[in-house]
Amino acid sequence: MKTNISYWNANLIIVIFLLSIWFLSSFGAGILFSDYLDNFQIGGFKLGFWFSQQGSIISFVFIIVLYCFLMNKLDKKYDSEGD
């Protein structure tokens, strides 16, 4: 029972961490810090605009891959391989 609780606590930590990265990359960089990021450019586009258009989508795909990697590692640690 202790292992099951530890597994879900670790799972929640991973999810909260990744959701905070998602919030910062999409809402933070695309909306809140857009004016500051517009001082920099990527490929001729202002960085704030780039994050609101492509950066948040790329960040989301990266977060999905990172989640799969971290959960596989967590499953191996707790010997809870799923079907």
Question: How long is the chain?
Answer: 83
Which of 71 and 48 is assigned the larger pLDDT? 71
Residue written as token pair 């704030």: 48
Tokens representing 13 are 């930590």
How many CA atoms within 13 Å lie on the side-chain side of 72? 6
Query: What value does the mean pLDDT of the chain take?
Result: 86
- DSSP 3-state assignment of 45? strand
Report the alpha-carbon distance of residue 42 to residue 58 in Å, rounded.
Answer: 14
Is this prediction's pTM over 0.85? no
- DSSP 3-state assignment of 81? coil
Instruction: Render pLDDT for 19-44 as a digit per residue (tens, 0 to 9).
Output: 999 988 888 887 888 888 889 887 88
